[in-house]
Chains A and B, each alone.
Chain A
Amino acid sequence: MVTEDSDTENKYKRADAAETSSERRAPVGRRRFLQAAGAGTAVALAGCSGGGGDGGPVTLGAAYILSGFASLYGEEAERGIEFAVSEINDNGGIDGRDVEVLVRDTEASGDTAIQQIRSLVQEDNVDGLFGLDSSGVAQAVAPQISQLQMPFMITHAATPFVTSPQGEHEDSVGNEYVFRDSNSLAQDVYGAARTAQELDATEWATIGPDYAFGYETWDYFQAYCDGLGVEAEFTAEQFPALATSDYTPFISSILDADPDAVLTPLWGADLTTFIGQAESAGWFDQIDHTLFSVGMGTDLPSDGSPLPEGEYASTRYDPFVPDTEANNSFREAYYEEYGSLPTYNAEGAYRALHLYKEAIESAGSTEPDALVDEFTGMEHSGPVGEYQFTETNQATVSSIWGTVTYDEEWESNVLDPVNRYEAGPDVLSDALGDSDLPTGI
């Protein structure tokens, strides 16, 4: 069966990949949401128009991938934004002012992202920025942010180099204006290595996208395994281009190398394509363990949840852990609104808005430097738990890994059992051992 969104009025039928033969899901209808355009390239969510000024609404700018292989991420972020905006505006706004968010499409390209961000700052006069999905884009954008002198809260892009101060490593581009409220690749892959410790796999391989994120995942994994003393041999690696439509040759190559386990940071539609094709090739029968390091991002919206049960996946935010009031009520309300569990991209975006609210209210102004001061070292809590920003502007969100299980009640994949690994600066630098890779925290 072809899986697709059957809402014919929505010009952009958001399509997700097929269900796998082993899991049949009833597609849950999606709420169409406030997309002024079919594309959602410039969308003003829940606010009146006009730039932020005293008395007028607070305007924030967001940049996400809204088209192409990872468009689902942008969509999820937009949901989180919409949810937060109505929550905030319904409860008195920010210091009495409504908040509105302009969302732009980065198209997963650094060039485009920089242009859009410049336009947001210089044409739309936003009071603050947040977003970004792609690590490559984040690395290109970070230096520009310090030139624009505007705070930027990264909510998803995971490369540790954007929260590693310039000079720490030759690739570091961190600066005082760039923050991240979600966990980084360094934290995430630490969890992968801890998971690997528990497994009896000795030969490891990877298949990841051909850009910073793919390589960094593998580099960090190898470094952590070394530092933690995990017995592992790294026997094969493949890095197909982003938006590859046929992974079969790469899959075949890995299978020929016959590793015990594979770590894969493939994401977005690429992941769903890969899984379907891997199943056809008998991957999950042959390979003992597959670790999906960003698996839960596209998995939860129930239109297709293809992560196979029994494999391992990580998430930057889990709807069930920690079992706090904040998390539970967020999950319930979100599910009621959208019919699916909140993904980490939605939660990261949601929390960015709350972070801005708190910063603006504490500072009593929307001056960029005042906001930067507020964010620096800020302690905050949200559905993801309690955390604070370290001196490199990285949030101390834990690394969450678990086993993929289908949950009847929520009609979706969840991680169960799930482990949260505290991944603070000391833990990470110990685990990295001799490596010169930065902890990014």
Chain B
Amino acid sequence: MSATDTGGRVSRFGSAVAEGWTRERLGLLGAVALVLVAFAPPFQVYLFTDFLVVALFALGFNLLYGYTGLLSFGHGLFYAGGAYGIAIVLRDLTPVVADVVGAGIAPLVTFALGGVVGLALVVALAVPVGWLSVRLEEIYFALITLAFGMLGYSLIIQDPAGLTNGTDGVIVLLGTVDLGGFSLRIGGRRIYYAISAVTVVAAVYGVWRVVNSPFGTVCKAIRESPDRAAALGIDVSHHRWMTFIVSAAVVGIAGVLRAGLASVASPGLTHWSTSAIAVIATVIGGATYFYGPIVGAFIFLYIRWAISRFPALEAYWELFFGALLIAVVLFFKQGAVGGLLLLRDRLFGDGDADDAGSGGGGARDDGGQATAATDDGAESGDDNARADRGDNS
């Protein structure tokens, strides 16, 4: 990349930002917002980090559901896989790593190592589980993934080889990095937020690339009509399997982050009720949109938090979300993102001049959240790869 090329890119970027509500402008705003969040009160930082992790979980799940038409009720298995992977590494390998790289930087190295191990574990699991599961369709796929998830749950509870500590889970202690007088607590709210934000943004970008690649197009083709896809020469099973693995990997990354956030890796992560969170968030957000799961996760977490401010209601948040889920599926399958897009269209007439991409238009996710200082349109690139489903809205 020569200097002039870079210069040219920067100026193109700059003019794009200046031009109006373009992808670039939104991307920049998003990045600024992410940085600003780091300065919010500690609990808000924590809450936002929680949102990022759940958003990634849902996003990974939706790769399989929204894009490929496979509803998994067992994705918690990979969530737990990532969490336990890093938790066990942190618990058992920290001294070893400290011997190798010195006690100062050890916590960070172990954390990174744990993340890699967690991801590897998840992929290793996803290969056989995915291969077996994609043989089945629709309800049966949901059932077998449910079964695998609960199988994982019951195995983790048995504390195999003394690794998982049964029902109580593995405590996660992130440690402090000491570098020449400068010390950083990895588990500190803002540091951990920074780590999570970077990871999640990267992962989201990765998923976005996958979805907008030929690979992603094949997924959608398979979802629309497996038979037609097969007739075109696509190995449907194989492709689903690959998608499954990618989906699991993304969820695994979320799981790794979850461990550090919750400070404990517990078997509940692979229980079907946790897998259900991805389902709820995605459906409410709008499974047919790339950002649907992210918006859904936002709604899930922030409405829960808002409700928790009112003790009388807080106990019944499940009722609220159950009803919302039903309403969305019955009446408004596009979910929240669909609603927001409709709103935008109504308010602003046609879409913006800078539309690029498959008919979705630049998504201006206002979110309508005046109070929360957060921005969920923060991810780079704003195309809603709108994947139309054949059914009625």
In the complex, is A directly touching B at CB under 8 Å?
yes
A interface vs B, CB < 8 Å? Answer: 36-43, 67, 109-111, 114-115, 118-119, 122-123, 136, 139-140, 143-144, 147, 173, 210-212, 215, 241-242
Contact A211 B167 (CB under 8 A): yes
CA distance in complex: A143, B169 (Å): 14
Q: How far is the CA of A67 from the CA of B317 in the complex (A)?
A: 14
| A139 B168 Cβ-Cβ under 8 A | yes
Contact of A140 among B169, B187, B315 (CB under 8 A): B169
- CB of A42 within 8 A of CB of B171, answer no
A111 and B264 in contact, given A210-B157, A211-B168 (Cβ under 8 angstroms): yes
Contacts A39-B315, A147-B185, A241-B157 given; 12 further ones with Cβ under 8 A? Answer: A36-B312, A37-B312, A40-B311, A41-B311, A42-B314, A122-B41, A123-B41, A139-B168, A140-B263, A143-B263, A211-B167, A211-B168
The 4 closest A-B pairs by CB, nearest first: A39-B315, A37-B311, A136-B168, A211-B167
Which of B245-260 touch A at CB < 8 Å? none
17 contacts between A and B (CB under 8 A): A37-B311, A41-B308, A43-B311, A109-B268, A110-B169, A110-B262, A110-B264, A111-B266, A115-B262, A136-B168, A136-B169, A140-B171, A140-B263, A140-B264, A143-B171, A211-B166, A212-B167
| Residue B206 interfacial (CB < 8 Å) | no
Write the chain A residue with the least CB distance to B43. A122
Residues of B within 8 A of A119 (CB): 43
Say yes or no: is B102 at the interface (Cβ < 8 Å to chain A). Answer: no
The interface residues of chain B lying within 8 Å CB-to-CB of A173 are 171
Query: Of A36, A38, A111, which is within 8 A of B268 by CB?
Result: A111
Which of A110, A118, A119, A173 counts the most B-chain CB atoms under 10 A from its CB?
A110
Point out the residues of chain B lying under 8 angstroms from A37, CB to CB. 311-315
| Cβ of B162 to closest chain A Cβ, rounded Å | 10
B154 CB to nearest A CB, Å? 10
What residues of chain B have their CB less than 8 Å away from a CB belonging to chain A?
Answer: 41-43, 46, 157, 166-169, 171, 173, 185, 187, 262-264, 266, 268, 308, 311-315
Residue of chain B at shortest CB distance from A36:
B311
Residue on A with the closest CB to B45? A122
- For B305, the closest partner residue in chain A by CB is A119
A110 touches B314 (CB 8 A): no
Known: A139-B171, A210-B157, A210-B166. A41 touches B314 (CB 8 A): yes
Chain B residues lying within 8 Å of A38, measured Cβ to Cβ, are 312, 315
Assess whether B168 is in contact with A140, with CB atoms less than 8 Å apart.
yes
Which A residues lie within 8 Å of B312 (CB)? 36-38
Q: Which of A40, A43, A241 contacts B167 (CB 8 A)?
A: A241
Docked CA distance A39–B46 (Å)? 25
Quick check: B314 and A212 within 8 Å, CB to CB? no
**Assembly CA distance A261 to B264 (angstroms):** 36
Does the CB pair A39–B314 fall under 8 Å?
A: yes
User: Which of B167, B311, B314 contacts A242, CB < 8 Å?
Assistant: B167
Instruction: Give the residue name and chain of the A residue nearest to B174 (CB).
Output: A147
**Contact A136 B41, CB 8 Å, known A42-B314, A114-B263:** no
From B41, B171, B266, name the one whose CB has the most chain A CB atoms within 10 angstroms: B171
In the complex, what residues of A have CB within 8 A of residue B173's CB?
143
Give, as a whole number of angstroms, the nearest-CB distance from B302 to chain A. Answer: 14
Point out the residues of chain A lying under 8 angstroms from B313, CB to CB: 37
**Cβ–Cβ contact A144 & B263, under 8 A:** yes
Chain B: CB-nearest residue to A146: B173
Query: Within the complex, what minimum Cβ distance (angstroms) separates B265 from chain A?
Result: 10
Chain A residues in 8 Å Cβ range of B315:
37-39, 41, 67
